């Protein structure tokens, strides 16, 4: 079964082997409101943990999406260009942003598991 980890900036990463699928959490899409534009990174781009990797714009605001871990982008969700609302409809499913080949699996240990993330969000009030 795939393992999911979260950042304090509300990105999630689903780990399957040495590949991670990245998106924003359901909480984040709820805070943003209706998503109207998503810019995903190009395949082949190298991203560093904590560095900007994508952009999401809603009717309320534009926000950076940060790489939860370091790696090389292996896929970008092209469906978001024509249907950015997928992020609202399925933030942790069809609304994923990009996939990457992990370059340092140890970085996953710095991320929260689902229970810790739920507690973190609950504490945001």
Task: Provide the domain limits for residue 90.
Answer: 3-118
- For every residue of 49-82, DSSP letters joined together read TTSEEEEEEESS-EEEEE-SS-EEEEEE-THHHH
Say how many domains are in the chain: 1
> Is 109 part of a structural domain of the chain?
yes
One pLDDT digit (tens) per residue for the chain, 125 residues:
679 999 999 999 999 999 999 999 999 999 999 999 999 999 999 999 999 999 999 999 999 999 999 999 999 999 999 999 999 999 999 999 999 999 999 999 999 999 999 999 999 97
> Is 92 part of a structural domain of the chain?
yes
> Is 76 part of a structural domain of the chain?
yes
Q: Rounded to the nearest 5°, which phi and psi values hold at 73? A: -65, 125
The CATH number covering residue 113 comes to 2.40.50.100
Contact 72, 100 (CB under 8 A): yes
> Is 125 part of a structural domain of the chain?
no
């Amino acid at each position: 079964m795939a393992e999911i980890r979260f950042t304090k900036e509300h990105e999630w990463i689903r780990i399957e082997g040495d590949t991670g699928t990245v998106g924003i959490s359901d909480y984040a899409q709820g805070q943003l409101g209706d998503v109207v534009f998503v810019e995903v990174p190009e395949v082949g781009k190298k991203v560093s943990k904590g560095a900007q990797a994508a952009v999401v714009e809603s009717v309320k605001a534009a926000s950076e999406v940060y790489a939860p871990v370091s790696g090389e982008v292996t896929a970008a969700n092209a469906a978001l260009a024509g249907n950015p609302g997928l992020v609202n409809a399925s933030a942790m499913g069809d609304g994923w942003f990009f996939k990457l080949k992990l370059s340092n699996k140890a970085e996953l240990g710095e991320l929260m598991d689902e229970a810790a993330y739920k507690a973190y969000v609950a504490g945001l009030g």
